[in-house]
Structure formats: structure tokens, C-alpha cells
Structure 1
Amino acid sequence: MGRSGNGCAGRRGWGRTALRSATLPLALVLTTACQTNAADGPGTAEASLTVRYDRPSGPDADDAAFVRERRLPEEAVRHVTALVRLDPPVVMTVRSCGGEGPAYDPRTREVEICYDEISETRRLYQDGGQGLSDDALSAVLLESLFHESAHAVIDVLDLAVRGKEEDFADQFAALMLLRQGAEGEERLLDVAETWRLSAITYENENEDDGQADEHSTDHQRAVAYLCYLYGAAPAHHADVIGTDTLPADRARGCAREWRRARAAWMNALGRPAEDAVSARRPGR
């Protein structure tokens, strides 16, 4: 959930550790090529988005183990490549970020995801006095994976972006999660709660990082994600409306807001609107 800017597509954050990771020898680098079915859309067995794990720095060993055991980058690749094929291909590298935060670099076509985001998210919940489940922690990292993948998609496909690219990337993350049906809705709810907690726990730091022109505030992101969640399935999420969560006046327009955000991405990708909707939408 941490963010920092790098001038390309970096994200805001509340601090990082100081050490960079050391790269594994080539023979030990784990790479996962995307494999998609004809039913998934335009993807092929070609590797359009691959995963690479760098050796973590010492403090990040447990975080790296969590990411590897849960196979979160591989899950993100599977969902992204079910919707879009990237040509030229993009590498998703998972490493110790040493204070720089997750980002996408268009010069190298590399998505960089941080092991240390795991410990930072745990620390946020500790500072906020709340418990954090492993499933919620996984949801937070998946949102980062989808958000940074969105920057890669925008760059590789040379998509026109209306408004701020960071907001458009958040909408892609919401789309990727909501395509997962009820499980994705629960994940998006966890993500929104994490942004809400960040806003109230680190309010002064978040408002004074010099990136207000590129990134919405943590509070704005929390509300936007709740709006997309509610707009996608109002009958299942009326409980997210409240004065300190999703204001009622905003909620009234969320179905329209989500339809527009979803349509913007599907139109940009040249995909029919029905491809944005999960075919396995069980009740909560």
C-alpha cells in the first residue's frame, strides 16, 4: 500500500527501508510466463507479462516468503493477461525497494513491486490499533500489483487517459478485483479500509508529500474504492455508506460513476462491456 513517486508512475507512501535488493543468479530467477485460454480473450501462450523474484534484503525475508507462498504476483498476472496482451512484453519484478516504493518504469518496461510493502502494511494496522488478516494483507498487495500493471498497460498500448493517470490506474485495480466476483468485492473492501486507515493514521504525512497533482489523497482513494464497490453491487454493500466512509450523496451516483470508469477501461482495451463482469458472482 505504500507509494512513492519516481516521475514515471510511482506511488505515494509513508517510508521505506534503506537497502536495495541483490539480484539472484540468472539460473535461480523464477519467471512465470502468462498462459491464457481462447476464452480469456486476446492473450496467447506468449509471455506478455512475466514475474521475476529478486533476493530480498535481510529485513524483508519474511515478507518475501509471504509473497512467494501466496503467489500474489502470479495471480495478478493471470487476471491481467486474461483481459489484455502486452506486446512488447513487460516484466514484473518483486524486490526490496529500499525506500523507493512500487513503480512502473517505461524505459525498461518493468513493473517494480516491493516485499517491504507487507511489513509497512502490518505496521500501519499496528499504528492504527487494528487487526489485519493474511487475506486482507494479500488484497492490499494485489491492489498494488494491479495498479502498477495498469501503468504498464497504458504505456505499452499507448492508451489515451482522461483525467489523472493515477486515478485511472486505481480504476483498473478496482476492475481487476471486481472481476473476481464476491471474493474480489471483499478484497476491494479491505483495500478501501487500508486507505481509510492510512488517511487517519498518517494524515499529516499524506497531505504534505508534494505529489498532490499526481495522486489523490489516501482519503479520496478510500472513498473512490468504496464508491466503485457500492456502484458495482449496491444490494450487497449498502453497509459501506456512512459519514466516515462513503457519504450518502456520493453513493447516489456511484452506480453511474462505476459504469463510466469500467466503460472507459473496456473501451480503451477494445473489449466488450460484458467482459468486465465476473461470470461467477455468488451472493455474499
Structure 2
Amino acid sequence: MCHHRRTSAGAGRAFVIVWRVTSAVAVALLLAGCGSSADESPSASTQSEASTSAATDTAAGGDAPDDGEMTATYEDATTPEAQHGRELMESAQLLEDLAASVNETFNLPNDVRLLGQQCGDPNAFWDPNEQAVVLCYEDADFAERVFAQDGDPDPVDAALNAEIGSFYHELGHMMIDLYDLPITGREEDVADQLAAFVMLAPDDDGTIDPDSVKVVRDFAGEFRAFAAEDGGEIDESQFAGGHSLNQTRMYNLLCWAYGADTTANAGIVDDGELPLERAELCEDEYDKMQYGWATLLEPYVK
């Protein structure tokens, strides 16, 4: 399942972001049904009661077997692009932090690997045959270059943020595969949702770390760069592909970031990154997406 073209500080945040998913699951389940009218239907009330019970179970730990762990490995790099991408990842201890965060948070049914790898192109993917998430060195190299060209004040941090987003997207594929999760919709879109769900996980007080929001915005920014690299040209193969268009994925991520906290993240709309017409739907989109992933992951969170 490929991510398809798409800190120092960023790597450190990775551990905090994914570790907070435990509380995010409980919060999402507890708040399921919020926003319903006072005369909510019996079925909605039943769902809310069931969600509260599930949240209590989550606080005590998931009930899935915990028989594996994720390990991190940096493979060899020979091309200049791959060597530079490896240097970016390794100096930030990106893979180690991401693997540790998964092991702290999820019950894994078997061992899996997180590989830094030379791929030939900017990419990332979950390999079910090898039971490995692969982050391609060329993706980090590409991301730093495009963020620098766009005038980002810290292109290395932004590039590592984009890699964090890529990892969580592939983690979505991994979880769908390992846990045999039911999904409704294209898997690539659902994996983007998982990435947003984890990165936008609230703290115990219900607030979302602004640094985590920046990770999502930088991840979206890489899709903007891929769209620009294509020159705005869209052909039939892109419409027919398994991934949504780069621009669509960018706007989805920005929408969920805005919807997670429309007050704190109002700048996403005010700065013109997200059209107002889409923004009006984003809080509801985010709430439904958060509840859906929280429900799916509840048995597997430690």
C-alpha cells in the first residue's frame, strides 16, 4: 500500500502524538452522540451508553493479544538523494521514536519492522509480505527540498513532519491488515483518516498540541508540492487510481485539522489554505472520523 509521492523536533513529537491516542480513543467514545438533540432516538442513546462502557474498558487496556513489537532499521543508501534522506531521518532518530511509540501504544499480534530504505522514488508503503512499514529516504530528501523552495523557515523540521504523517498513513494500512479491520471506503482514504486521528489526538484536558497541528499541515503541504510538481495536469490514470488526487488529500487533512478545533486552528481558513465552503463541514467530518477510528482501535490500545 503506497503513500504515493507525496524532527529533530518532529521526531520527538512523534512519541507524544501516538502515545496520546489512548486518551483519544476514550474521549472519542465518551463523546459519541454529542451534538445530538435532546430528543435523541433510543438507538442513539444506546450507542452512547455502549460507547461509555467501551471507553471504560479502554482505560483498563485493550483485550487483544500483545505478542509482537515494531523494530526500526536504517538500510544502506547509495545515491545522493537517499543518503541525504537517511541522514535526515537517522540524525533525528525518527524511526526509533516512531517504533517506540507504537510499542507503547498498541497490542501487536506479531513482530513488524519499520525500515528506512532506498526506493528510487519518493514513497512510503506497508509491505504485508515482509510485515514492514517502509519510509523511503528519497521522500525525506524531496520534502526538504520543496519546503526550502517554498521558503519554509525550517525545511528540515517540515520534512520530518511530512515523514511522520507518511508513517501514520502506512500505520493505517498496517492496522487494517494486522487487525483485519472493517472499513467502508477506499483504503487509501481511510489510512489518511488514521493519520489525522493519531496526529490530532487531544491531551487529557481536551486540547490539541499546536505542534501536532503543524505536523498535519506540513504533511498536507507535501501533497501540495506533489500537485505542483505535476504542473496541475490531471490525466485519466490519476482519476482511476486507488489514491485520491494530491489536492484532495491535502484539503482533507486541512479540513480535519480545522475541524478538530475550529477556534484554535481558525488560521487554516483565515490564511486561505482551506475554502470556507469546505470548512463549514469540517467539524462534523472530524467528529465522525474520530469516533469511527476510536471504535475500531478500542480493542488494540494498551
Q: TM-score, normalised by structure 2?
A: 0.71
Change (3 A) 1:172 1:82: farther
- Within 5 Å, which residues of 2 pair with 1:28-43? 41-42=61-62
Point out the more displaced range, 193-202 or 183-192.
193-202
Contact 2:256 2:285 in 1 (8 A): yes
Q: Which letter does structure 2 place at the counterpart of 1:161?
A: I
Q: Could you list the runs of 5+ residues in structure 1 that have no partner in the other structure?
A: 1-8, 15-35, 276-284
- Within 5 Å, which residues of 2 pair with 1:1-284? 9-13=1-5, 41-42=61-62, 47-59=68-80, 60-99=82-121, 101-125=123-147, 128=150, 132-179=154-201, 181-204=209-232, 207-208=234-235, 210-212=237-239, 213-241=241-269, 245-270=273-298
Contact 1:76 1:146 in 2 (8 A): no
Change (3 A) 1:142 1:252: same
CA distance in 2, matches of 1:210, 1:132: 34
What's the offset of the Cα at 1:89? 2.3
CA distance in 1, matches of 2:83, 2:112: 25
| CA-to-aligned-CA distance 1:104-143 (integer Å, 9 cap, x gap) | 1212211111111121113333565666522111100111
Contact 1:41 1:82 in 2 (8 A): no
- Structure of higher RCO (CA pairs closer than 8 Å, 6+ residues apart): 2
CA distance in 2, matches of 1:198, 1:73: 23
Change (3 A) 1:239 1:150: same
CA distance in 2, matches of 1:93, 1:114: 8
What's the offset of the Cα at 1:196? 2.3
| CA-to-aligned-CA distance 1:193-220 (integer Å, 9 cap, x gap) | 2322332342446x33824331111111
Change (3 A) 1:271 1:185: farther
Contact 2:73 2:114 in 1 (8 A): yes
CA distance in 2, matches of 1:191, 1:62: 19
What's the offset of the Cα at 1:259? 1.1
Change (3 A) 1:135 1:242: same
Q: Which letter does structure 2 place at the counterpart of 1:87?
A: P
Between Structure 1 and Structure 2, the one with more helix by share is 2
Contact 1:128 1:201 in 2 (8 A): no
What's the offset of the Cα at 1:94? 1.0
> Percent identity, aligned pairs only?
26
Could you say what secondary structure the match of 2:237 adopts? coil
What's the offset of the Cα at 1:243? 9.0
CA distance in 1, matches of 2:280, 2:257: 13
Could you say what secondary structure the match of 2:96 adopts? helix
Could you say what secondary structure the match of 2:135 adopts? strand
Contact 1:13 1:101 in 2 (8 A): yes
Contact 2:162 2:222 in 1 (8 A): yes
What's the offset of the Cα at 1:39? 7.5
Q: Could you list the runs of 5+ residues in structure 2 that have no partner in the other structure?
A: 7-18, 23-57, 203-208
What's the offset of the Cα at 1:62? 2.5
Query: How many residue pairs end up in the alignment?
Result: 243
What's the offset of the Cα at 1:56? 1.4
What residue is the counterpart of 1:5 in the other structure? none
Contact 2:144 2:158 in 1 (8 A): no
* Runs of at least 4 residues off by over 3 Å: 36-47, 78-83, 125-132
Q: Which letter does structure 2 place at the counterpart of 1:139?
A: N
Change (3 A) 1:52 1:46: farther
